[in-house]
Structure 1
Amino acid sequence: MEASQSSAQQQEPLYRRAIFTFSGSHFLNDLVTTGMVPALVILYKHAFELNYTQSTLIVLLSYLTSSVSQPLFGMIADRKPRVWLLPAGVFCSIMGLALTGIAPSLPWLLLFISISGLGSGAFHPEASRGTHLASGSKKSLAQAIFQVGGNAGQAFGPLIVSVFITYTGIKGLLWLIPIAFISLLITVQILPWLKEELIITQRHKTTQKVKGANNYLGASLLSCIIILRSWCQIGVVVFLPFFMDSLSVQQAEILSFVFVGAGALGTYLGGVWADKIGTKQLLILSMLIATPFALIFPHVHGVLSIIVLLFFGFSVLSSFSASVVYMQRMLPQSIGLASGLAIGFGVGAGGIGSVFMGGISDAFGVSTVFTILSFLPLVGAIIAFFLPKYQEQL
């Protein structure tokens, strides 16, 4: 009887309505956080007359409020899920950025950015948990679809800044307010299903203990890899307009779109491949393949730089969804915490790296930042060799 139930669980299909709801809301959330905030730095810099270090404080606060709060929200949700954080989180993340369009000073700007970051921190654990519940036996594929939504938002962020905000100025961000209310319509409709699934999951926990103990050492190693990957992504998106100063802001932001857009495609295909070859192998390969492109990017120009940037983004971000599944399998007793670490804390630590890189830019120039970035994928690949193995099925 138990064997047949286990077999049925393994063959359980994706619940597509839920998966695409979470992916769509993830698009909106990451569009206004990791997508637009780094791309807006150059506009905030001019509007408030900031230096590089002050400018990157904006990214730091956005990512720090999100990254620190995500594991906390995840641990709270592991004890008692709060599904209302899903719509409330994405609403606050969008509304917070919209209000920066009327910020009268840097302190007010940082306050609104913090509200946006906290909203993102509340959204991610519940959305990732919901994706986990709706994934059936296709864990990596489901997370890939969910993460593609987020990565697509990150990709379109610089593009929206390039084609719209650079012409309207930061006041154009007020047009995001209607989007905040649309996000409520998207997310609220899935709450009845999510509540029911959580009740079933809680009953299952009381009758059958979740297999496997939490592997905190493995989770720490994986967090280091996610941080290095995040530094690559944030470093390119934030400092590319300054590095390629011969280009207009619009042209530089389009290059950022190429980088993150290629990463979105890589995220989806990486999720498909991870179900076939395993996530550890995918993590190692993605970082190794990204290394040569990272090393040569600072030294190429013209069309070749676009091609290298495309392959760099595709390879280094292809492990995004796989790393979330990997973290959930290393922390099977704490799915909310695992999601908070993989999507939040590790990724959000990129904000700290951006301030560090801002200080380097002020002291040694932006080119030094790209020299440092070029070695990060290789370091990540080396760490990935020491990750523990795990069973493919949860």
Structure 2
Amino acid sequence: MAKGKVWTFSVTHMINDLVTTGIVPALLPLYQKAFHLTYTQTGLIVLASYITSSVMQPLFGAWTDRKPMVWMLPFGVFISVTGLALTGWAPTYEWVLFLIAVSGLGSGIFHPEASRGTHYASGNTKGLAQAIFQVGGNSGQALGPLMIPLFLAFTGKEGLLWFSVLAVTAFFLLMRILPWYKEQVQQSLSKRKQQNGKNHWPGVFWLVIVITLRSWCQVGVAAFLPFFFLHQMNMSYSLAELLNFMFLGAGALGTFIGGALSDRVGMKHWLVGSMLIAFPFALLLPYAKGIFAWLVIFLFGFFILSSFALTVVYMQKLLPRNIAMASGLAIGFGVGAGGIGATLMGYMIDLYGVTTILTFISVLPLLAVVFSLLIPSEKKLAS
């Protein structure tokens, strides 16, 4: 494994997701207050980010599988971070939606290329390499909520423009490895005609459903659990976001450990087992209080997101002839499904209250177990 390259992809992934999927859900209460939004309108902000990212990722991946454009790797993350930074100066709700959509578009360009680069640098430890890459993104998501009080206390939302510094940093980090990445892509294209692997589309279908259900769990907790703590348990905003950090931080840890272990115990075994273990903690979410709440949220985040890295590798095994498109589907479709889920759950909150969402989330891991069992195992794919 080319560790230096993998860690470069991981760090830029952290920067990208810190200021997109990490901060966007954390900013929802602030946008709601600033522009007097309903929960449905609030959910649309997440949708604007997630849907542009999700639509772009598999399409861009399929496109670059045929006609690589390696320069889009640094360009994508620059657009992603800059778009979010400019929302700090957005004068209206409509401008927020537009800039968030631009940010999502950049993220959609970045992810399949960065994931493919990680695949090239992984050697024989693909699960571990993807875990390092994905834990960068998950760490960014976890750190996002912690940074919101800092910006509000010292700079206001206009201070989000400072994130443009991170955009430039990520751009130059990726420019340093661009010659290596271009060489790897060219070598891959020359070997493609010799590949004997076949795409397994039924398995792709079932895996996409599992990714969707997992994404709904993630966005449901990250975007709306703080509202539950704020309004149902009378917590402070800072404490509610700290619990959100606990959930996402546990997910980052689970992503790393799950990706590393999947190389040993098998991807399907870990996928089914992690969803099954997450199920009872999902049931306990609405009832956990005090220290018990911290424990439940940590364990739920750890297990529900511990399959994140391995589902990328799994998708690449199901689509051996379309590595970039596989990465776009595994990462991008989950992001888009999360945006759709956020809008749906926001609508449900407007009708039935925030507690309903936690009940909805509680059944999703069990459904994911059922669909995971339908995915062919690695041994069957290799035969």
TM-score (norm 1): 0.94
SS of match in other structure, 1:244: helix
- Measured in 1, the distance between the counterparts of 2:196 and 2:3 equals 26
The one-character-per-residue Cα deviations of 1:331-386 (angstroms, maximum 9, x if unpaired) are 11111110000000123211000000000100000000111001111110111111
- Determine whether 1:70 maps to 2:52: no
SS of match in other structure, 2:196: coil
The one-character-per-residue Cα deviations of 1:6-39 (angstroms, maximum 9, x if unpaired) are xxxxxxxx01111011001000111111111011
- Measured in 2, the distance between the counterparts of 1:82 and 1:375 equals 41
Matches within 5 A, 1:32-43: 32-43=19-30
Q: Give 1:203's match in structure 2, choosing from 183, 190, 194.
A: 190
Query: What residue is the counterpart of 1:237 in the other structure?
Result: 222
Mean alpha-carbon deviation: is it higher for 160-169 or for 264-273? 160-169
- Structure 1: tracts of 5 or more residues without a match: 1-13
- Measured in 1, the distance between the counterparts of 2:188 and 2:199 equals 18
Q: Give 2:36's match in structure 1, choosing from 25, 40, 49.
A: 49
* Equivalent AA in structure 2 for residue 355 of structure 1: T
Distance change (3 Å), C-alpha of 1:162 and 1:290: farther
Query: What residue is the counterpart of 1:79 in the other structure?
Result: 66
Q: Give 1:266's match in structure 2, choosing from 254, 257, 262.
A: 254
- Determine whether 1:105 maps to 2:92: yes
SS of match in other structure, 2:128: helix
* Equivalent AA in structure 1 for residue 199 of structure 2: N
- Measured in 1, the distance between the counterparts of 2:26 and 2:128 equals 29
Query: What residue is the counterpart of 2:284 in the other structure?
Result: 296
Q: How many residues matched? A: 379
- Determine whether 1:180 maps to 2:167: yes
SS of match in other structure, 1:220: helix
Query: What residue is the counterpart of 2:208 in the other structure?
Result: 223
Query: What residue is the counterpart of 1:7 in the other structure?
Result: none
Percent identity between matched residues is: 54
Asked whether the equivalents of residues 162 and 254 of structure 1 are also in contact (C-alpha less than 8 Å), the reply is no
- Measured in 1, the distance between the counterparts of 2:382 and 2:374 equals 21
* Equivalent AA in structure 1 for residue 216 of structure 2: W
* Equivalent AA in structure 2 for residue 229 of structure 1: R
* Equivalent AA in structure 1 for residue 197 of structure 2: G
Asked whether the equivalents of residues 327 and 342 of structure 1 are also in contact (C-alpha less than 8 Å), the reply is yes
Query: What residue is the counterpart of 1:28 in the other structure?
Result: 15
State the shift of 1:295 in Å.
Answer: 0.3
Query: What residue is the counterpart of 1:326 in the other structure?
Result: 314
- Determine whether 1:285 maps to 2:273: yes
The one-character-per-residue Cα deviations of 1:155-178 (angstroms, maximum 9, x if unpaired) are 101111133346533212111111
- Determine whether 1:371 maps to 2:359: yes
Asked whether the equivalents of residues 151 and 160 of structure 2 are also in contact (C-alpha less than 8 Å), the reply is no
- Measured in 1, the distance between the counterparts of 2:204 and 2:153 equals 40
- Measured in 1, the distance between the counterparts of 2:334 and 2:239 equals 29
* Equivalent AA in structure 2 for residue 241 of structure 1: P
SS of match in other structure, 1:251: helix
SS of match in other structure, 1:309: helix
Distance change (3 Å), C-alpha of 1:248 and 1:258: same
Query: What residue is the counterpart of 2:373 in the other structure?
Result: 385
State the shift of 1:264 in Å.
Answer: 0.5
Asked whether the equivalents of residues 165 and 173 of structure 1 are also in contact (C-alpha less than 8 Å), the reply is no
Distance change (3 Å), C-alpha of 1:166 and 1:296: farther
- Measured in 2, the distance between the counterparts of 1:211 and 1:271 equals 26
- Measured in 2, the distance between the counterparts of 1:198 and 1:17 equals 18
TM-score (norm 2): 0.97
Distance change (3 Å), C-alpha of 1:33 and 1:171: same
Asked whether the equivalents of residues 166 and 250 of structure 1 are also in contact (C-alpha less than 8 Å), the reply is no
Q: How large is the Cα RMSD of the aligned pairs?
A: 1.3
Query: What residue is the counterpart of 1:17 in the other structure?
Result: 4
- Structure 2: tracts of 5 or more residues without a match: none
Distance change (3 Å), C-alpha of 1:166 and 1:308: farther
Query: What residue is the counterpart of 2:101 in the other structure?
Result: 114
Asked whether the equivalents of residues 214 and 333 of structure 1 are also in contact (C-alpha less than 8 Å), the reply is yes
SS of match in other structure, 1:388: coil
The one-character-per-residue Cα deviations of 1:55-99 (angstroms, maximum 9, x if unpaired) are 110000100000011001101110011111111111011100000
* Equivalent AA in structure 2 for residue 227 of structure 1: T
- Measured in 2, the distance between the counterparts of 1:28 and 1:179 equals 7
